[in-house]
Amino acid sequence: MKRTLLAIASIAAGFAVSGPAMADLQLATTKNCMACHAVDKKLVGPSYKDVAAKYAGQPDAADKLEAKVLKGGSGVWGPVPMPANAQVTPAEAKKLVAWILSQK
């Protein structure tokens, strides 16, 4: 019985830790971000881990990236422009960017 309770507690703790990360991955998937980006490899655009590494330690990184998510941008990662994302609200952009910057 004790072993079963310990196993259940471990599984519950794992869900608690991965819950927010999965929710933001789900938001990125829902908003079609994953059509051009992946967490750990380059697709059309850079991987989210590469974005997090490039902007690490920059105090204005979140603001810059939120603007890029909403309005689009070009020239930072090469010749392919990132289109504006009209389907993403400012609150969603903030949540997505926080998740992207947390990637290691």
Q: Which residue has the tokens 């998937």?
A: 29
- In whole angstroms, give the CA distance from residue 5 to residue 11: 10
* pLDDT of 22: 66
Question: One digit per residue, pLDDT tens: the chain, 104 residues?
Answer: 444 433 444 444 444 444 455 669 999 999 999 999 999 999 999 999 999 999 999 999 999 999 999 999 999 999 999 999 999 999 999 999 999 999 98
**Predicted TM-score of the model (pTM):** 0.78
Mapped onto helix, strand or coil, the DSSP state of residue 83 is coil
* pLDDT of 104: 87
**83 contacts 72 by C-beta, under 8 angstroms:** yes
| Domains of the chain from N-terminus onward | 2-101 (1.10.760.10)
**100 contacts 51 by C-beta, under 8 angstroms:** yes
> For residue 82, which phi and psi values (nearest 5 degrees)?
-95, 125
